[in-house]
Amino acid sequence: MSLKDNRREYDYGTLSRDSLHNNPFTQFSLWMDQAIEADIIDPTAMSVATVGQSGKPWQRMVLLKGFDERGFVFYTNLGSRKATDIAVNPHVSLQFPWLQLDRQVIVGGRAEALSATEVSDYFNSRPLSSQLAAWASEQSSPIASRAVLEAQFEAIKQQFSLGEVPLPEFWSGFRVVPKEFEFWQGGENRLHDRFYFQRQQDDWNISRLSP
């Protein structure tokens, strides 16, 4: 089958204005719960799009590690491309691709650094192997081979074999404070349901978009 013929109908469900919550965080929480209950793969996975000093956009998948009405939280190495992009341009976009439910959510907002306490608490809750990996990887920097990476991991493992793994100074996290949301529900005949939320001071303006 050629790529141009690779298509299917989107018939999981519909999204109406009457069924849509006025608070986008409430709507997101509902859809997240349904994605988890549906046992889809990696329901907390989200694409983070950034634009750095060069003006070029870049995307990567990360895991959402918390959300509430303050925003959406993820963690990263401060030397990573995403973090260096955010340092010069904090405006980012998130996308949750719940394709098995014919759904996606897009969030646009500003990334703000998490507090030292938040970062420390989360780092200390991570499995030991994840803590060691944070030290071993100079995220986004060139590396000669997989063998070099594994050697760095083993060296770090030996270094911290007799005690707790401390929080690296170069490892932190961000909270994306939303300014806009889009909820997309695939529909039959490509007549998708799309609702756009835009923050208006302490409230949200809601509009339906053409598919």
Selected catalytic residue, list 190, 194, 199, 208:
190
Type and span of the H or E element at 209: strand 203-209
Please tell me the distance from the alpha carbon of residue 210 to that of residue 173, in angstroms, as a whole number.
Answer: 35
- 153 lies in a domain? no
- Decide: 189 and 200 in contact? Cβ < 8 Å: no
Task: Report the predicted TM-score, pTM, of the whole model to 2 decimal places.
Answer: 0.92
Q: The domain that contains 69 carries what CATH number?
A: 2.30.110.10
- 5 lies in a domain? no
- 96 lies in a domain? yes
- 62 lies in a domain? yes
What token pair was written down for 180? 């806009």
Task: List beta partners, residue 103.
Answer: 98, 185
Please tell me the distance from the alpha carbon of residue 40 to that of residue 52, in angstroms, as a whole number.
Answer: 32
- 181 lies in a domain? yes
Tally of domains within the chain:
1
- Decide: 196 and 182 in contact? Cβ < 8 Å: yes
Domain hosting 58: range is 13-124+172-209
**Sign of the CA dihedral with 75 first, then 78, 84, and 88 last:** positive
- 140 lies in a domain? no
- 66 lies in a domain? yes
At position 72, the amino acid (one-letter code) is F
- 85 lies in a domain? yes
Please tell me the distance from the alpha carbon of residue 123 to that of residue 176, in angstroms, as a whole number.
Answer: 19
Q: For the chain, 211 residues long, give each residue's pLDDT as a single digit of tens.
A: 676 667 666 676 789 999 999 999 999 999 999 999 999 999 999 999 999 999 999 999 999 999 999 999 999 999 999 999 999 999 999 999 999 999 999 999 999 999 999 999 999 999 999 999 999 999 989 999 999 999 999 999 999 998 899 999 999 999 999 999 999 999 888 889 999 999 998 899 999 999 9
Please tell me the distance from the alpha carbon of residue 174 to that of residue 64, in angstroms, as a whole number.
Answer: 11
Q: Check if 70 is active-site.
A: no
